[in-house]
Amino acid sequence: MHTLNQLQSGQLVGISKLTLSESLTEFPLEILTLADTLEVLDLSNNKLRYLPNELSQLKNLRILFASNNQFEVLPEVLGQCENLEMVGFKANIIKHVPENALPIKLRWLILTDNLIEALPNSLGERPRMQKLALAGNKLTALPENMSQLQNLELLRISANNLTHCPDQLLDLPKLAWFAFAGNPFSAADLHIENVPHVSSSSYTLHEVLGQGASGVISKATWTEKVDFPQEVAVKVFKGQVTSDGYPKDELQVCLKVGQHNNLVKPLAQVTEPDCLALVMALIPNHYRNLGLPPSLDSCTRDTFPEGFTLPPRHIDKIISQMQDVYDHLHMNQVCHGDLYAHNTLVDDEGNIIFGDFGAASMYHMLSESQQKKIKHIEARALGHFIEDIQNLKAG
């Protein structure tokens, strides 16, 4: 994190990444003094509404984050930034995306949690696009020419107002991670009761075990007598919408999938007006993350610690288990949407536990043809998972 004072005093000359969060209401023009070197600009968590036309002077700018600001229109000047590849405007109040606002080299666009009702046709004219996050808007349709996005690999359209399945997307040749729950076309009025309801007062939360876009997972112990292990994990969902969709859809998907040896085991659910939570079996401490999330450079593909390898027998075992998980999910007509090594835990014997259903979508309401295409899309993700794991083979 940098300060405005550092910028104005010239202390930051020559840097390639700048992060400013000081409740800014105007773009500091002193940023332009970094034009020769600046590649990453993070202006998230301010009070900005506009960007100046001078932004295009940042000829080396590749990545711009401006989440949690007050933009109502995606700035048109972005389209004039000749090397801009990644644009993130999550959690603003954007209603309008101008035709000329999308950079020609764009490959990663994040517009999650805004008020967008329509997107320009120029979106379908960005051939480098790999990753597109549109969840939590008010979209009623998507441009037909998005069928031209031949390099699109990850797409989030959950929690919108789409009345028809966007068939123009289902035949994209590289699409592998797809989330679409929480739209009228994918509405599933299910209230699955295969685990009991409990009160949020029936347990006490302890240390945080992990957290993601949709909630916080904590260790918990029961304050009442129940027929469960005394120590459990509880995922308390946060907010009305996440980067992947609605928390209530995630809860229902977890319950619909049911039991599997390699999935996190649901035990109970909390569905109170001010608390939505899933009680799960506690994962043993000897499990660890199999992979790391994609980086800014890898975009859609998992990353792994440098030098990390696996014995060949563990690789075969992990792949076999994940293939079985994939079959189980799609037997239950569920697309996970985030089939990645970084959502997979592994122990020293090569046993895996797979979780994080934030991007999962039920698809039993779709036509038979659409269902086959959804399954085929996730088969690509499985293929990428297998390729990444095989590349970890110990020499």
Bind-site residues for ATP? 235
Side chain identity at residue 21, one-letter code: S
Burial readout 150-188 (b: 16 or more C-beta within 10 A, e: otherwise) = ebbbbbbbbbbebeebbebbbebeebbbbbbbbbeebeb
Cα-to-chain-centroid distance, residue 29: 32
Side chain identity at residue 294, one-letter code: P
- 310 strand-pairing partners: 393
Helix (H) or strand (E) holding 387: helix 368-390
Q: Which of 321, 291, 324 is nearest to 308 (CA)?
A: 291
Side chain identity at residue 57, one-letter code: Q
- The answer to whether 72 and 95 have CB atoms below 8 angstroms apart is yes
Q: Pick out the residues of the known binding site.
A: 235
Cα-to-chain-centroid distance, residue 246: 12
In order, the DSSP letters of 149-210 are: -TT--EEE--SS---S--HHHHT-TT--EEE--SSGGG-------SS-B--GGGEEEEEEEE
97 conformational bin, left if phi > 0, alpha if psi -120 to 50, beta if neither: beta
